[in-house]
């Protein structure tokens, strides 16, 4: 990180949007004249390898979806299920009729929304402050930020801190320890540093306050990078498991990832996870388990295209390579 700082402190702003390719990139879909055509077996081997890799990624998801929509008969029949032959929503009806899965989803959605908002406030304000030139001591504070990437506090002291603060078994304990990611902070800071200085200077001459410049000029100009960072934060809260295991004792406060572990990996009795008030028998455990997996995965699949639009060759390399 510190090397990246010194080699090129002001990367091209376009790197962050990932829209502009490097200077020496080849034109797409064209073999350069100097490159010989590979022999047939090389092409064949490559195609087969890539096809296997893609199948290894896609088939598991298809299978999970298929099982979650399958009927009792299909699951008992076993064998290759990639498309349910008698699709049914029974498993989803069972988990959405109330009970612990619905509550866990509410908890996770709430945590993700409030957590991301808090993370964005803390990250953008600090990044703005550290991006301003000529502020005495800001270099030292930057080292405090980067040092956090190298030294982690450790499980035991972190737990004791939360305990001393009286935050055990509260939702704050799931958000506060991860309020700022140094990595995201550096990305936002670098973007702020590249905003056109003339714009900021002229606003200042007009008497605009620092807050006004930040809120009305910097943030609107940085929408793309803020969207990516917010998505990264949101995904990490949605997925977070460790803090919940560490700090929450009360199972009624569990977020979805903990419920997933309890009912899918540990195979706890699903009757408590699903609706038990109706008289109809529960769908097979396996289909309910896979429905819980799907429900926990779908939000990620929804935001994934937006994430992907920006991160390819953009955000990460901008921060790491400088």
Partner 1 sequence: MWASRAVYLFILPGFLWYVVFHYLPILGNVIAFKDYSIFVGIRDSPWVGLDNFRRIFDDPAFATALKNTLIIEGLQLVFAFPAPLALALLLNSLMNEKVKRAIQSVVYLPHFLSWVIVIAIWQQLFGGEGFLNQILLNRGYEPVSIMNNPDIFKPLVVAQTIWKEAGWGTIIFLAALTKIDVQLYEAAAMDGAGGWRRLVNITLPGIRPVIVLLLILRLGSMLTVGFEQYFLQRGAVGPEAAEVLDTFVYFRGVVNGDWSFAAAVGLVRAVFGAVMIFASNWLAKKFFDEGIF
95, 96, 100, 102 alpha-carbon torsion, rounded to 10°: 140
Distance in Å, CB of 227 to partner 1, minimum: 15
Q: Which of 41, 78, 205, 279 binds partner 1 (CB under 8 A)?
A: 78
Distance in Å, CB of 43 to partner 1, minimum: 10
| Binding track, positions 114-153, relative to partner 1; x by CB under 8 A | --------xx-xx-xxx-x-xxxxx--x--xx--x-xxxx
Structure tokens given for 110: 């709430």
* Closest to partner 1 by CB, 89 or 245: 245
Q: Which stretch binds partner 1 (CB under 8 A): 92-100, 221-229, 269-277, 288-296?
A: 288-296
CA 19, CA 177: separation in Å to the nearest integer? 34
CA 273, CA 285: separation in Å to the nearest integer? 11
Distance in Å, CB of 51 to partner 1, minimum: 10
Are 48 and 260 spatial neighbours (Cβ–Cβ below 8 Å)? Answer: no
* Site for partner 1 contains 2 (CB under 8 A): yes
How many positions of this chain bind partner 1 (CB under 8 A)?
106
38-77: which residues touch partner 1 (CB under 8 A)? 38, 46, 49-50, 53-54, 56-58, 60-61, 63-64, 67
Distance in Å, CB of 101 to partner 1, minimum: 14
* Site for partner 1 contains 210 (CB under 8 A): yes
Distance in Å, CB of 30 to partner 1, minimum: 7
* Site for partner 1 contains 29 (CB under 8 A): yes
* Closest to partner 1 by CB, 47 or 278: 47
* Site for partner 1 contains 283 (CB under 8 A): no
294-313: which residues touch partner 1 (CB under 8 A)? 296-297, 300-301, 304, 307-308, 311-313
Distance in Å, CB of 42 to partner 1, minimum: 8
* Site for partner 1 contains 21 (CB under 8 A): yes
| Binding track, positions 218-247, relative to partner 1; x by CB under 8 A | -----------------x--xxxxx--xx-
């Amino acid at each position: 990180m510190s090397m990246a700082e010194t080699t090129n402190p002001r990367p091209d702003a376009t790197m962050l949007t990932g829209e502009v390719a490097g200077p020496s990139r080849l034109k797409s879909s064209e073999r350069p004249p100097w490159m010989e055509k590979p022999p047939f077996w090389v092409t064949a081997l490559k195609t087969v390898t890539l096809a296997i890799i893609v199948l290894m990624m896609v088939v598991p998801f298809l299978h999970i979806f298929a099982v979650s929509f399958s009927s009792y008969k299909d699951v008992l029949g076993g064998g290759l299920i990639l498309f349910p032959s008698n699709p049914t929503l029974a498993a989803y009806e069972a988990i959405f009729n109330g009970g612990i899965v619905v509550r866990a989803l509410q908890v996770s959605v709430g945590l993700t929304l409030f957590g991301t908002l808090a993370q964005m406030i803390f990250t953008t304000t600090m990044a703005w402050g550290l991006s301003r030139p000529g502020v005495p001591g800001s270099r030292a504070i930057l080292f405090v930020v980067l040092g956090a990437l190298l030294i982690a506090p450790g499980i035991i002291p972190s737990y004791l801190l939360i305990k001393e603060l009286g935050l055990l078994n509260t939702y704050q304990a799931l958000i506060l320890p991860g309020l700022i990611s140094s990595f995201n902070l550096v990305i936002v800071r670098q973007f702020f540093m590249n905003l056109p200085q003339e714009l900021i200077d002229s606003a200042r001459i007009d008497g605009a306050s620092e807050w006004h410049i930040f809120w009305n000029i910097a943030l609107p100009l940085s929408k793309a990078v803020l969207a990516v960072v917010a998505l990264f934060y949101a995904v990490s809260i949605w997925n977070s498991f460790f803090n919940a295991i560490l700090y929450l004792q009360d199972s009624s406060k569990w977020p979805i990832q903990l419920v997933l572990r309890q009912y899918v990996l540990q195979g706890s009795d699903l009757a408590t996870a699903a609706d038990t008030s109706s008289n109809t028998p529960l769908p097979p455990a396996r289909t309910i388990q896979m429905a819980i997996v799907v429900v926990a995965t779908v939000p990620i699949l929804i935001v994934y295209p937006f994430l992907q639009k920006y991160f390819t060759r953009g955000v990460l390399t901008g921060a790491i390579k400088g």
